[in-house]
Amino acid sequence: MPLSGAMAIRSVLRLLSRLGLDTALHRDIEVVQSSGLFDTEWYVAEFGLLGRTFVDPIVHYLLRGARRGRNPHPLFDTSFYAERLSPNNRRHHNPLVHYQRFGGREDKDPCLWFDSTWYRAEYDAPPGGEVTPLLDYCTTGRAEGRSPHPLFDRAWYLGRYAGEIGSADPIVDYIYHGARQGRLPHRALAGADRVAADPSSVEAAIRTAAALRDPRPPRDLIRDRFDEEASGAFVAGLRESNPIPTPRPLVSIVMATRDRAEVLPAAISSVLGQSYAEWELLVVDDGSRDGTEGVVRAFSDPRIRYVPGDGGGAASARNLGVAAASGALLAYLDSDNRWLPDFLETMVGYLCANDLDLAYSAMRVDSEDGVRFRGRDFDLSDLVRVNFIDLNTILHRRDLVERFGGFDATLRRLIDWDLIIRYSEGTKVGYAPFLGVLYDDHKRPDRITVRESINAKFVVLNRHLIDWSALRDAAAERKRGLVSIVIPVYGNTGITNDCLEAIFRESEGQDFEVILVNNKSDRGTLANLALWAEARSNVQLVAVWTNLNFALGCNLGFARSRGETVVFLNNDTLVTSGWLEPLRAEIGKDSVGIVQPRLLYPDGTVQSVGAVFAEPDGLSHMLYRGEPGDAAHVTRRRRVQAVHGACLVVSAADFAALDGFDPHFVNGQEDIDFCFRLRTATGKHVVVAPDSTVIHLEGQTRGYNRHNRQNRLLFVERWKDQIVADARSVYAEDGFDVAAFTPDSDEYAKRGIAVHTPTLRRNS
């Protein structure tokens, strides 16, 4: 008879004790026994040890099995884990012992099909400690139906192969049997053309998708310390080489200000203290009411000029200053910041010595959080994504203004970032690594960064991440008949998979491509989207370094598309049979510019069949929301002022002509705004095609209502003179009276930005 496990272990330990070799093994045995991860029955059966009496399975694994690559548990791959250890750890630790003592707490993966970091985050598993992610799965997760890996679609696998796997753990079945028998771990692979062409490509696609990471955010390089010794040496070296030509060029300094009389003298004094004397200072007063003019005129230096502004904002004020300037070089200093004495001389010398068009320095930033420093080498691709050059640090040649224009007065914020990007494209730019600027970053209510919305960030990104001019020029060359389906995604892997599965099921025979835009979702979502793209030749993935919201996310996806017709589709939608052809047929017919399908809720009631307006200065509401989806007044083709973006179809040429959705809107109203812009620019119509039906799981997209107020205010301000209050006439045409309109918020109603829901009654 075989010895019991305890008896076998005691026998082995007595022998090793006599040989003086028991200490390390005894420790390892205790670690493995307490781990809960040694599956004795599975190990014995899997490796043919049944009936052998000479050794306990745990001891066998520790002394022989691990070296032969045998696994102590179906989800612990000894070779996989050992390959990821350092050479020193491989020599001194059994893989399972290392995992239990160290690796599990550090979320190291026990096998290819167990993603510990994802598992812990996805299921809020206990933090690192005695309960490793694998043990949590074995004791709790498996029974609760959890998946151990983002690319193992457990529920789908069970549903598809239930008759073949019986009561086995689905992931164990796949690893040891299913993969060899051609079973697929994820719905993205079912029917995928690349998998059909090469079934052996499944594992490679899984590995590639699982390894993909979002692009790294660009470095702003704000740091706690700055090498002031190196900074001083840089300044001294330039001064000694004396690269500034004779006569020395005049630098025009533009200082825009408004109601900053208290701090203005310090900024002006820092200009007066410059070691470089060839300058003029133009102080542009943008409508101050605090005696700013008197403060400026109190300085008797003739190089200082007071320029009255028009109150049009910082961009307008700076443009006035530039227009009044006479220097060959231009610099900018805000009225609450200061330059160090060597700033101008060093910058002029550096620009001239290197024949640059634009140069910038480092700066010290003082704020409530203390003192920090900002400065890094130039990289245009990074600059387009993050603003790491401050306007107060730059010096540039005047001809850049003539070539690229001045500050954009249509922007409420980040006008300096937009300008510096334009001045850096196709020009010579250099970083002067010295400390030249003292920047005051303390919070004050009158600062633009406090007062104005950050939405301008997405507007600037839209201008410079996407070459709209090239897209317009290439519109005629897009593939005829091809429909590009652009889907921005932020989390919600399950509904995204449902959405994609429906597209491929219900669009068979149509020529289409899918562009997935991962709006900086979690890692599991990214891997999921990457697998769809790896498995199918007509799916592309656009991964970005931050959440760019619906408008800009859609625009980036459009920039990667190839079709002459574009569908913008929410990931919380389900297309139905025959959905695509009626939409494609509408575009271009009878001057149709935009088309929407009949959008229904899962219960068959209407989510939207277009947008109508109750008030001339209010917001639209969804026509016939909540009505039966098959009602006669719902199934009419109709022309409307706007449609909703859960499924919006437009020609690529028209979308490019308008620079896409306006990123001023953050996850709301950008769709309605686009309809108004297209109708205004082209005279084309917006229609609802009821022969196409799409189910919308409204409310499943996270963060949708967070910016309601600012989106509504912006829309009404922009379109208040063109909104037509058409709701009553539309309902009357269909045989309804409106008994009352109920605003969604009394506060919003007072401000003219409420959505009014109608109470309808049939005409008698």
The pLDDT of residue 664: 94
Say whether the peptide bond before residue 247 is cis (omega within 30 degrees of 0).
yes
The sign of the CA dihedral 64, 65, 69, 72 is negative
> In Å, how far are 184, 515, 701 from 488, measured between CA atoms?
26, 8, 10
Sequence-distant (≥ 6) Cβ neighbours of residue 23 within 8 angstroms: none
The pLDDT of residue 128: 61
> In Å, how far are 258, 294, 365, 591 from 262, measured between CA atoms?
11, 12, 20, 59
State the alpha helices, DSSP H only, in 212-252. 228-241
pLDDT band at 216 (very low <50, low <70, confident <90, very high): confident
The sign of the CA dihedral 153, 159, 160, 165 is positive
> In Å, how far are 169, 220, 260, 366, 439 from 369, measured between CA atoms?
52, 17, 23, 8, 13
For the stretch 77-134, pLDDT in tens is 999 999 999 999 999 999 999 999 999 999 999 999 999 999 999 998 876 666 899 9
* pLDDT beyond 70 at 444: no
pLDDT band at 214 (very low <50, low <70, confident <90, very high): confident
The pLDDT of residue 7: 52
Global pTM reads 0.91
454 contacts 359 by C-beta, under 8 angstroms: no
CA distance 306 to 604: 68
The pLDDT of residue 763: 86
Mean pLDDT on 603-620:
92
The pLDDT of residue 14: 62
The pLDDT of residue 708: 87
pLDDT band at 137 (very low <50, low <70, confident <90, very high): very high
> In Å, how far are 237, 283, 286, 666 from 226, measured between CA atoms?
18, 31, 35, 37
Q: Which CATH number is associated with domain 222-452? A: 3.90.550.10
pLDDT band at 662 (very low <50, low <70, confident <90, very high): very high
- DSSP, res 559: H
- What is the dihedral angle through the alpha carbons of 315, 319, 320, 326, rounded to the nearest 10 degrees? 150
Domains 222-452 and 464-762 share a fold: yes
For the stretch 291-340, pLDDT in tens is 999 999 999 999 999 999 989 999 999 999 999 999 999 999 999 999 99
CA distance 196 to 536: 10
E strand or H helix at 404? helix 399-404
CA distance 741 to 756: 5
The pLDDT > 90 percentage for the chain reads: 82
Sequence-distant (≥ 6) Cβ neighbours of residue 721 within 8 angstroms: none
- DSSP, res 591: G
Q: List the domain boundaries for the chain.
A: 5-141, 222-452, 464-762
Phi, psi for residue 530 in degrees, rounded to 5: -65, -35
Q: Which two tokens stand for residue 761?
A: 């009654």
* pLDDT beyond 90 at 446: no
State the alpha helices, DSSP H only, in 99-140. 116-123, 133-136
DSSP string over 477-519: GSEEEEEEEEEEE-S-HHHHHHHHHHHHHHTTTS-EEEEEEE-
For the stretch 357-405, pLDDT in tens is 999 999 999 988 899 999 999 999 999 999 999 999 999 999 999 999 9
For the stretch 232-280, pLDDT in tens is 999 999 999 999 999 999 999 999 999 999 999 999 999 999 999 999 9
pLDDT band at 616 (very low <50, low <70, confident <90, very high): confident
Sequence-distant (≥ 6) Cβ neighbours of residue 239 within 8 angstroms: 342, 345, 346, 349
Orientation angle between helical segments 22-35 and 5-18, nearest 10 degrees: 160
- What is the dihedral angle through the alpha carbons of 583, 589, 594, 595, rounded to the nearest 10 degrees? -30
The pLDDT of residue 54: 58
- In the three-class reduction of DSSP (H, G, I as helix; E, B as strand; rest coil), residue 686 is classed as strand
Sequence-distant (≥ 6) Cβ neighbours of residue 659 within 8 angstroms: 462, 463, 466, 468, 555
The pLDDT of residue 451: 42
- DSSP, res 250: P
* C-alpha atoms less than 13 angstroms from C-alpha of 275 in its C-beta half-sphere: 13
* pLDDT beyond 80 at 710: yes
- In the three-class reduction of DSSP (H, G, I as helix; E, B as strand; rest coil), residue 670 is classed as helix
The pLDDT of residue 448: 47
pLDDT band at 707 (very low <50, low <70, confident <90, very high): confident
Strand partners, 696: 573
State the alpha helices, DSSP H only, in 242-342. 264-272, 292-297, 314-324
Provide the pairing of β-strand 620-622 with 638-640: unpaired
The CATH number of 464-762 is which of 3.10.450.50, 3.90.550.10, 3.40.50.1970, 3.30.499.10? 3.90.550.10
The pLDDT of residue 3: 45
519 contacts 599 by C-beta, under 8 angstroms: no
What distance separates the 2 farthest-apart alpha carbons in the chain? 109
CA distance 99 to 71: 13
The pLDDT > 70 percentage for the chain reads: 93
Q: From the CB of residue 310, how many other CB atoms can be counted at a distance below 10 Å?
A: 11
674 vs 615, which has greater pLDDT? 674
The pLDDT of residue 450: 41
Sequence-distant (≥ 6) Cβ neighbours of residue 492 within 8 angstroms: 525, 571, 572, 700, 701, 702
For the stretch 2-58, pLDDT in tens is 445 555 555 655 665 565 555 788 899 999 999 999 999 989 888 776 555 557 899
pLDDT band at 145 (very low <50, low <70, confident <90, very high): very high
The pLDDT of residue 1: 37
716 contacts 624 by C-beta, under 8 angstroms: no
pLDDT band at 590 (very low <50, low <70, confident <90, very high): confident
CA distance 708 to 724: 21
